[in-house]
Structure 1
Amino acid sequence: MCTGKCARFLGLCLIPLSLISIISNALLLAPNGETTWTNNLSKQVWYMAGFIGGGLMVFCPGIAAVRAGGKGCCGAGCCGNRCRMLRSVFSSAFGILGAIYCLSVSGTALRMGPQCLTDDDKWKYPFENTEGSYLVNRTMWSWCVKPPNVVHWNVTLFSILVAVSCLEIVLCGVQLVNAAIGVFCGDCRKEDAPH
């Protein structure tokens, strides 16, 4: 596969992943679909890792990769698309950093669990010292009284963010290598191809 076609394919995969990340982070701001709990959200929600890291910081490399798969940087393909590929190298590295940020914050959020109102009428992190064992022991989820279903909400959405950020790291890494090859070797398009 040509580096240009590969870049375009990877970019078209990264863009929806970044949008899924943004939507997941937005949903975390409204536990159980309610906005009345915003003063008591977990600190990891406010780090906006899905919005900034897995979202915007990966959306930009996705766009750069799609553009790198275009027909040349000056309208006539005079540099074999090397300029756009070079930009995509730096964008992909930026995307990897964003996805790692999203992965680390989301992983920490899963390990700590959500902040919630417990039976003793205190807002705290009841699963903080469970080393993540609450994830497989659903009977512990009843420790959280309010917001309703907050544990299920957080576990689902942060798990999505973990999975998405892992995919983003892989795809940005592949695009970084692909774009580096494209910078040095061109994109294997024929010089006389129509632009």
Structure 2
Amino acid sequence: MCSLGFARSLGFALLPLATCCIVANLLLFFPDGKMIYIQEHQVTTYVWFFMGIGGGGFLVLIPACVFLGMGKCVDSCGTENCAMCGSVIAALVGLSGSGFCFLISALALLKGPYCLTPKGWKSPFEGDGGKYLLAPEGWSVCTQPASVVEWNVTLLSILLGLSALEFLICFLQLVSGLVNAVCRPCCYKQEYSLNA
């Protein structure tokens, strides 16, 4: 039952992380807090991958709900082993979602924002390998939306951090579920043979 408590605590930890990923991704659609940029398709293409909404959000909510409901699963199917196998599958879903969120957020951060420059609408930092992150004096090349570089860097960094935590939590449950699903039956067989 200790492993069930561990899984439930991981489920509780995933809920706010997934919610924050969804919010951060939604905010990326509205630089400078205005809807005009999304209406005119003047946001970075990476936000349309829905890395925080789908990947770090809804795909991570699946394992969160599974981990939280494992006690009911044990009550209905009768064995903790069955619940642990289900948690392994759910953890794999969470790993894929958080990994997708991390990867797309990193690529978006390297590319930089899509903004209005003296040469028109473009991604002025694309191709510099993320060097613009260490040179904030060059961020003023983006004139619209206001403070778009800071907006993108902050939200994408938040998504990177949150998805890394989600990945770690899902990985911990994957290991815990595998250990419990594989080792527990072996331990029971050993105990039975020793008592016989």
Instruction: Say which SS state the counterpart of residue 127 (structure 1) adopts.
Output: coil
Deviation at 1:74, TM superposition (A): 3.5
Distance (Å, rounded) in 2 between the aligned partners of 1:32 and 1:130: 24
4+ runs deviating over 6 angstroms: none
Q: Deviations over 1:1-50 (max 9, x none)?
A: 92111101111111111111001001111112111101111011111001
Deviation at 1:183, TM superposition (A): 2.6
Does the CA-based 8 Å contact 1:4-1:182 persist in structure 2? no
Consecutive unaligned residues of structure 1, counting only runs of 5 or more, are 187-195
The aligned residue for residue 188 of structure 2 is none
Query: Is 1:67 matched up with 2:66?
Result: no
Distance (Å, rounded) in 2 between the aligned partners of 1:58 and 1:72: 19
How many residue pairs were aligned? Answer: 182
Distance (Å, rounded) in 2 between the aligned partners of 1:78 and 1:91: 19
Distance (Å, rounded) in 2 between the aligned partners of 1:72 and 1:88: 10
Identity of counterpart residues, as a percentage?
38
Instruction: Say which SS state the counterpart of residue 117 (structure 1) adopts.
Output: strand
- What is the 5 A alignment of 1:157-176? 157-176=155-174
Rg comparison, structure with higher value: 2
Q: Which has the higher helix share?
A: 2
CA RMSD across the alignment:
1.6
Instruction: Say which SS state the counterpart of residue 69 (structure 2) adopts.
Output: helix
TM-score, length-normalised on structure 1?
0.88
Relative to structure 1, the CA distance from residue 72 to residue 43 in structure 2 (aligned partners, 3 Å threshold; closer, same or farther) is closer
The aligned residue for residue 109 of structure 2 is 110
Query: Is 1:85 matched up with 2:80?
Result: no
- What is the 5 A alignment of 1:32-181? 32-38=32-38, 39-68=41-70, 70=71, 72-75=73-76, 78-79=78-79, 81-120=80-119, 122-181=120-179
The aligned residue for residue 5 of structure 2 is 5
Instruction: Say which SS state the counterpart of residue 125 (structure 2) adopts.
Output: coil
TM-score, length-normalised on structure 2?
0.88
Consecutive unaligned residues of structure 2, counting only runs of 5 or more, are 186-196
Does the CA-based 8 Å contact 1:99-1:168 persist in structure 2? yes
Deviation at 1:72, TM superposition (A): 5.0
Q: Deviations over 1:90-135 (max 9, x none)?
A: 0100110111110110000111101111012x11110012211111
The aligned residue for residue 189 of structure 2 is none
Distance (Å, rounded) in 2 between the aligned partners of 1:128 and 1:62: 36
Does the CA-based 8 Å contact 1:67-1:84 persist in structure 2? no
Query: Is 1:24 matched up with 2:24?
Result: yes
